[in-house]
Structure 1
């Protein structure tokens, strides 16, 4: 992995899996985020094995249906929005990218209607 890629310079966690659920890429922020679980050593492992129930069943369903998932969490006082988005190449399912973005305590909402 090239260290000058933009994904390595951004303070959001980006994790990529293949169509079989094997973790293929983690940017440095992702490796730090998941350090307690092995960090970058998770590359090459099954993403389903990283999740307890009921998350494991939900994730397996997402792989089967190729559907996205979006939610927010709070862990250790930090709020984050998580986007799990299916990847396609020429219409063929390739896997997922998970993007985890920290949310500030005070986030303005702008209605642009």
Structure 2
């Protein structure tokens, strides 16, 4: 049986993981997030976004929930999945996953 080092497995993912607190201050970035965004730990992610995005982030931080969408940047399609994380039932911040999407990407309907 393989044991998983839960303190380090995020660094080996091939998607970017960024975690912030309720003020938007980045608490954690995995290796891929640092490669894509630079090391912004300890800094607010709010100034990096436009007004529309700031309003969405503020709503997620205030109410919880998720925001999911796709983008294309420099010819690369990505899925962005932002969701509130909670501690003892209270929103503690956001986690964002940014995943490159293959082209073409299969889609399956399962019932």
TM over 0.5: yes
Asked if 1:59 corresponds to 2:57, the answer is: yes
Asked if 1:105 corresponds to 2:103, the answer is: yes
For 2:12, which of 9, 12, 22 is the aligned residue? 9
State how far apart, in whole Å, the 2-side matches of 1:10 and 1:83 are: 15
Asked if 1:79 corresponds to 2:77, the answer is: yes
- What number of residue pairs does the alignment pair up? 106
Aligned residue for 1:84, secondary structure, equals strand
TM-score (norm 1): 0.87
CA shift, 1:45, in A, is 1.0
TM-score (norm 2): 0.89
Corresponding residue for residue 89 of structure 1: 87
| 1:45-98 C-alpha deviation (Å, 9 max, x unpaired) | 112111122211221122112121000000011001010011012212111100
Gap regions ≥5 residues in structure 1 = none
Aligned residue for 2:10, secondary structure, equals helix
State how far apart, in whole Å, the 2-side matches of 1:57 and 1:85 are: 14
